[in-house]
Structure 1
Amino acid sequence: MSRPTAIAYAIGLPLALLVLIFLPAGSLTWRPGWIFLGVLVLAFAVSALVLARVNPVIYRARSRFQAGTKSWDKALLTLILPAMTAVLPVAALDAGRFHHALVPGWLVLMGYAAVLLGIAVAGWAQAVNPFFEPGVRIQSERHQRVIDSGPYRFVRHPGYTAALWLFFGMALALGSFWALLPAALAAAFLIVRTAWEDQLLQAELDGYVEYAGRVQFKLFPGIW
């Protein structure tokens, strides 16, 4: 990633989070929003610094959608990304502006635990997998191979597992039950994406069928 791009990400993402959280909340003094924003930015910053040291190539791999990305994946992402993004403004409207159902403190803490777990697992997956891209395709020009180390020893798609933790964790961390609805919608589309990507990998990536025989679960050990 070039320096200007890195700076744009470092400035643009926090600003986008400010708009998504505090505009719907209707106030810049909403304390839970600032706590959430601080935790999220700090956790992602630590993850980014670690990745820059252990697997810097991941920034080039994840910087854009590459040629060969499946059209069905692009269609799914047009559904997943808005639903995922909607978690924040829905939560801010619910908990910050309208103060609907009060989420117990222990559930808020579980939400933060899920967010941090999701960021950690996603970072771990990216640290060991140089082929971790935003789009689904077979990376033949990069000589893609099966990755079976790190979290890939336990599930075949740990990046998606991490995303599910983040979807639901963000809603609860911000103290909103209503935000679980877009989180569930994003999760449903992500599960479809997981199944379709797994079918593609089994059909076209050498060694993946054998790997799938060793690691039987796609997202959650003992479940699926």
Structure 2
Amino acid sequence: MVVFALALFLPAGTLTWLTGWIFFMLFFGFVLAVTVWLFKHNPALLRERMRMGTLDQQGWDKLLFPLVNALFFAWLLLMSFDAGRFHWSPVPIWLQVGGGIVLVCSFLLFFLTFRENAYLSPVVRIQQERGHAVISTGPYHYVRHPMYAAILIFVVGTSLLLGSWYGLLFGMAPMILLARRAILEERTLREHLHGYTDYIAHVQYRLIPYVW
């Protein structure tokens, strides 16, 4: 939280950035709530998500995953400079309010994904020791990667809430990498996870229903 706060408010050059504080409290309030929920209802998934990497993580993911994280960090810094300090691309207040609503909607989709998928590892690997199986219920009934769909909604909501059109534009860079990761992840799952090929045949869309 301290590192996140420094990345948010140091580039902004002020601690009186209201929307920055709203985002900070909403984000970490949600992180805390999900962590407590996982601790109570699915501690195995909580342990999985707290692992810092495994030997069976796909080789390409060992390169792609840190790059995606670095781009998201750069995205946060850019929005802090833009909306907090220089006001390069101001967003109307009503759209910032709408962004906050979109952000909360992304939290809902995140939670539904966590609730449905007990194998939601942050890295791409086949969790044989945990009995890895195909999930096709909840949001997985509509898209194959609801976590990535939630991240897309999160990017839009955060950019609008903080008040940065540049953030909305630059936020598409890590999303493009996530889209590529989704394709590579599916290749791994088709090869190594029983039933995933049949799942793809029934659920046609990766992130956005009727689009892609």
Offset of residue 176 of structure 1 = 0.6
What 5-or-longer segments of structure 2 have no aligned partner? none
- The equivalent residue for 2:41 is 54
Q: Does 1:194 align with 2:196?
A: no
Within 2, Cα distance between the matches of 1:76 and 1:89? 20
C-alpha RMSD of matched pairs (Å):
1.5
Partner of 1:35: 22
Structure 2 counterparts to residues 38-117 of structure 1, below 5 A: 38-64=25-51, 65-117=53-105
Contact 1:87–1:167 (8 Å) recurs in 2: no
**Deviation of 1:41 (Å):** 1.8
SS at 2:50 equivalent: coil
Q: Report the count of equivalent residues.
A: 211
User: TM-score when scaled to structure 1?
Assistant: 0.88
Deviations 1:176-217 (A, max 9, x none): 111124311100100000111112112221011111111111
Say if 1:87 and 1:179, in contact at 8 Å, map to a contact too: yes
Map 1:1-224 to 2 at 5 A.
Answer: 14-64=1-51, 65-224=53-212
Of all paired residues, the percent bearing the same amino acid is 36
Runs of 4+ in 1 over 3 A off after TM superposition: none
C-alpha displacement of 1:174: 0.5
Name whichever of 103-112 and 124-133 sits farther off: 103-112
Structure 1: gaps (5+ residues)? 1-13
1:67-112 CA distance string (max 9 Å, x none):
2101111211122101111222211111111122220123212322
Alpha-carbon distance between aligned partners in 2 of 1:181 and 1:74, rounded to the nearest angstrom: 26
Q: Distance in 1 between matches of 2:43 and 2:50?
A: 12
Aligned-pair CA distance for 1:56: 2.2
Q: Counterparts of 2:35 and 2:75 in 1: how far apart (Å)?
A: 23
SS at match of 1:179: helix
Scaled by the length of structure 2, the TM-score of the pair is 0.93
Query: For the residues of structure 2 that align with 1:144 and 1:46, how far apart are their CA atoms?
Result: 25
Q: How many angstroms apart in 1 are the aligned matches of 2:177 and 2:150?
A: 15
